[in-house]
Chain A
Amino acid sequence: MPVQYYIFLSIALFCIGVMGVLMRRNAIIIFMCIELMLNAVNLLMVSFSKMWADAGRVDAGSAQLFVFFIMVVAAAEVAVGLAIITMVYRNTHSVDINILNRLKN
């Protein structure tokens, strides 16, 4: 199975995530689309790791560790982001991101 297959799958998942961020107004769904984009990148990195491992490189596991660190950062981001969304909801009773316009003034 060629690597291009995984590249195109990752591109498709990433673009679906971008579309979701641009289309939806619900802050929680925007967060989920960000997770989707991170996962597309992770999938690409694991496939490249497999490619280098097939080529006989000994340090091909570095890519998988990088994916591990991305997961760590994603978990931290979700914890803080959901706390912020909960706070916004408590103050405005909505998670529509258009409401955050008022941060401008």
Chain B
Amino acid sequence: MVLSVVALVSALGVVLSKNPVTSVLCLIITFFTIAGHYIMMNAQFLAVVHIIVYAGAIMVLFLYVLMLMNLNAELEPQKRNWLKYAGAISGGALLVVLVAALRDASMPALSAESTDIGLIKNLGMLLFKQYVVPFEVSSILFLSAMVGAVVIGKKD
């Protein structure tokens, strides 16, 4: 419960803060709370991977680019104020519609006892038996993304 509140507050902080670096730090807090949820739902491997990949790699990349661009001094232009309200209203409307649609759905409760489905042994067996082809395809995707990033970012 506390984790969820922290997650929602820091997610709002991502959207609402003026300074981009504050947004990045709020997003890191959100990722840590989501990792806490993963641990509570017996997805230990995913929690560790989530922290390493998101908080460790992706957010460092974001922070690096932000520091490189030195955007702290530059504030966003505030001329389109109605656009902000329109965005907030449409996001809120989406929230209301989804909550209203799913409010009456009957779902089973998650039991508190632990399952071993999220352990690295079981996930590894599943990954390398049933999902070998997507795994290899994702490695090709990674390779092409890496090459693409280098080609785009190269000084021409």
Contact = CB atoms under 8 A, between A and B. Distances in A.
Interface of A: 1-9, 11-13, 15-26, 28-29, 31-33, 35-36, 39, 42-43, 46-47, 49-51, 53-55, 59-62, 64-65, 67-69, 71-80, 82-87, 89, 94-96, 98
A50 B91 contact: no
Contacts of A75: 53, 57-58, 142, 145
A77 B68 CA distance: 20
A24 to B, nearest CB: 7
Main secondary structure, interface of B, reads helix
Given A3-B108, A64-B46, A46 B37 contact: yes
**Range for the number of chain B residues in contact with chain A:** 35 or more
Contacts, number: 225
A64 B117 contact: yes
B94 A15 contact: yes
A55 B111 CA distance: 10
Given A39-B34, A47-B41, A96-B76, A62 B126 contact: yes
Contacts of B99: 8, 11
Contacts of B108: 2-3, 51, 54-55
